[in-house]
Amino acid sequence: MNAANGKTVLVTGGGAGIGRAVVDRFIAEGASVGVLERSAAHVQDLAAAHGDRVCAVLGDATSRADNERAVAETVTAFGGVDVLVACVGVFDYFASIVDVPSETVEEAFDELYGTNVKGMVLAVKAALPHLLARDGAIVLTASNAAFNTAGGGFLYTSSKFAVRGLVEQLAYELAPKIRVNAVAPGGTPSDLPGLKSLGQDGLRLRDVPGIESLISGSNPLGVVCAPEDHAGAYVYLASNEQARTVTGTVLRSDGGLGVRGLAQAGGLTDTTAPAPA
């Protein structure tokens, strides 16, 4: 396991969930990793787990200054940045535009888009000079909600469609120096937080009643994704050796949600389906 040997990776939102799995995997693959993380406890845990292989910076991914500081401290610790991975995100817990009060919509929009979209733009902008210097790679985090309805509410789903657009536009603008891609995880029980503006800040995805059955019942493979299931996709897309021809792509790690119409019709498990013509 040395797909990232000698590389320096900066991960925003790398303290828990998918972000933490990504950090652990890159370190296992030989990388040194900078992390921007807003939880002091997660910062301490990263340092305890990985020692001098990680440079964990306490800060907010929605802050331009904190993104710039994370880049600067990573460069000081490891000499540069080869790969940027943006894993930071918040969820709207399927909030419907019908149910969100008019006086709350603006605040909720700003809170979610400030993290899920602006936070990624700020990270890219901060790391860009170093990525250009090393013909680097960017891997953003989309979601199955970037392709399908009902993967979140109107705020979350629209924000992940925005991430898809960001991937394609940045891939166009930054070629041929930097490859830009994303991973779209399927439902993954984790500590993904809700919106304070909607009174959801105490919610965590892993605590939603019946979440595992909901996830496994919605994808053709019948899997409940774990954060570690997605980490290899980030490593692959980050590698100029393994994925040097890949840019502007969103790799779906969702148990086959894109073909769930076939699964609902029975697919290979339905012995009553007519034989193919």
91 neighbors 141 (Cβ within 8 angstroms) = no
The Cα 127–Cα 111 span in angstroms is: 23
Name the nearest CA neighbour of 251 among 204, 186, 178. 186
Cis peptide before 274 (omega within 30 of 0): no
Active site annotation includes 156: yes
230 neighbors 188 (Cβ within 8 angstroms) = yes
Catalytic residue among 156, 172, 234, 236: 156
- At 187, the amino acid letter reads G
Name the nearest CA neighbour of 10 among 96, 97, 82. 82
To which H or E segment does residue 9 belong? strand 8-12
Catalytic residues: 156
